[in-house]
Structure 1
């Protein structure tokens, strides 16, 4: 597939008209390549076009908001590589992770958890990331799985792929506060 890598998408931003955010790297990480005219970009996975970007727009959030069924967003197009010793290869897609939430009675929407890389472990409100294997628990109403995941395990390959390193750094800088959940690292 053409434009399947961040580098390929980034190479299309020659002539990008904005000096402000969103920056070409952030757009490329969110699945977009530049087509013009103006600031029109296209998703390499769903072919959705977006334009009229403002300095406050977050490309990934706009992608999720305006093109929510895109396969790039749920990981169903190209699953993130999971290490060979991982036992969670069966939950690489959002659809499979969502199926694990049968019997879930936690305070956070399972769709949000699955989208942020988590699957349900079947007891209490314990969930685990399919990519970094980190276990989270003690969720409270209002928790944002993307933010919690970024705060507590910023090096997760899935989080970095979906959000980009700069967004993860920004979350850690601006949102770090008293943690409403505990994090338990998995022993490999």
Structure 2
């Protein structure tokens, strides 16, 4: 049984849910959609086109860290879809599992903006993309994970993640 825990990260519209669900399926582990854990106040704020700040994200990240910690305690694999935009957010998640790995889905602003425009039924408006890109801190050399180009097909991205047996980038 696979016991690696992954965070599929990136800005809204980069494909976290699609790639994360496919990765979880390939690993035969649970997928946790981080967006489902936002409190109503965060959803309302984003729906109104107001970017979340560090204080807004703190308790949400603690809840997600609890999901990771629970899987770690049971020695179970897990895939979490979470923006994890800043190093300090990833550090907060890593406190729950020092072996946590990250798959950063990265791509051109134009591609992501187009995906956001085409998306229906999501509370995150395309107008917040630039604030997310501004906050985004790419994975650093000492962070376990891989950075991937979202111009590739989701199945290809999953293959790259599965092939990455690295302890650091």
TM range (shorter): under 0.3
- Which structure: larger Rg? 1
Under a length normalisation based on structure 2, what TM-score does the superposition of the two structures give? 0.27
